[in-house]
Structure 1
Amino acid sequence: MGRQGLGALPREEAGELLVDAAVEVLAREGARGLTFRAVDAGAGVPVGTVSNYFTGRDDLLRQIDARLHQRLAPDLEVLGELMRAPKDRGLVTALMHDLMARVTGDRTGCLALLEMRLEATRRPELRASCTESVRADLEQGMEFHLSAGLPGWDETVAVLYLAMLGLVLEHRTLPDVLDGVLPGVGVPQGLVERIVTAVVPER
């Protein structure tokens, strides 16, 4: 970002760049290392800059939560292409592969999201905010699944969500745990297919 360029940007865009710098700090240092001074340093801006954009640490954490959901959200163009396929288990598998591609493609964002969940266990206000955003995502996923005519019901989506969350957690934190557990099954791609086959009905 640099010390010279931030002031020339619209406030909203500058704030977004600072939030992205905060995501980097959170993923690298954990919640205890997430200080305004650390974000200033990570963003390459003068000390005190972050305090001009956020009212406090809780405000910064809320902004990180919102930003992570943007960063890890599906690409609408990619989603549109995927949805041209028949509405069957194969399409669900493709959607889950896209999910894993987004998670593996934004390692920092994924680790920061996991750190946010841990921090939410210590901060009631953050827990309420994260619960609201994650539940909204889950309910939106259920609505999308049913309205698209994909096989299964709300319960299918809920179980699929839990299984994929477990896969993401292991793959991003202790990937060696999964190696060789199921001989001949690739990690994570092969496991994605196994999850979908086990959870989603053929029709």
Structure 2
Amino acid sequence: MAPQNTERRRVLADAAIDVLGRQGVHGLSHRAVDERSGLPAGTASNYFRSRDALLAAAMDRVADLHHAEMEAAAALETAPIGRARLIEMLGLSLLAAADRNRIRYLAVCELSLEATRRPALLETLTAMNEASVRFTCEQHRALGLDTSVEDVRTLILLYGNALFGLLTGPPERITRETALTLAKALVDGVLGPSRSEG
């Protein structure tokens, strides 16, 4: 049975994300994860017996990190928020994902593409996406927003595509202004334009 050292599993999952984001899915191996983590050879295979298990661990870790960041952002809010604050929160999230967390979200792109070829990984990705929808709905409710489940699904899909464009486009396009413009387009497109705008 594989060891259950939670901290070591986290270190290995973080290393897998880093390898995926920098080298792509073809660069991912147990050996590459061992080297990136600085742990002894064979450690990754002791914790994650197959490559699919390693990919799933990376995906689970990405979800945990994303949810923790969403919770931290929501915790800063002390009152119900309106459309303008939602746009700002989404824009700042896009900016952080494309800039500060670029490697992590390039890894997400790799994992998403790989899931189209690996049924087990697709199951993990689907479950992660459903958990994200539920989590986002809960966050919206906590912030005083009555966004429907379908609107949340659509926002998540459009957010992912906007992020993909930022990640794969020219780096100089990753600016606060661009991120906020994209976020406004997402919110207006899904929820309809603000009444004050006509």
**Shorter-chain TM-score tier:** 0.7 to 0.9
Deviations 1:39-85 (A, max 9, x none): 12222233222112222111111111110112222253431223x24
RMSD across aligned positions (CA) = 2.5
SS of match in other structure, 1:149: coil
Q: Which runs of 5+ in 1 are unaligned?
A: 1-9, 180-184
Rg (Cα) greater in structure: 1
> TM-score of the superposition, structure 1-length normalised?
0.80
Counterpart amino acid of 2:20? L
Equivalent residue for 1:128, pick from 123, 130, 152: 123
Give the CA deviation at 1:152.
4.2
CA distance in structure 2 between the partners assigned to 1:75 and 1:155 by the alignment: 19
Instruction: Output aligned runs, 1:41-190, within 5 Å.
Output: 41-73=35-67, 74-82=69-77, 84-104=78-98, 105-146=100-141, 148-150=143-145, 152-175=147-170, 186-190=177-181
Equivalent residue for 1:193, pick from 184, 187, 192: 184
Counterpart amino acid of 2:104? G
- The structure whose RCO (Cα within 8 Å, separation 6+) is larger is 2
> TM-score of the superposition, structure 2-length normalised?
0.81
Q: Which runs of 5+ in 2 are unaligned?
A: none
* Kept in 2: contact 1:23–1:109 (CA 8 A): yes
CA distance in structure 1 between the partners assigned to 2:30 and 2:162 by the alignment: 33
Counterpart amino acid of 1:79? A
Q: Which has the higher helix share?
A: 2
Deviations 1:73-127 (A, max 9, x none): 2253431223x24432113213312422441321111111111001101110110
Percent identity (aligned): 32
CA distance in structure 2 between the partners assigned to 1:152 and 1:50 by the alignment: 41
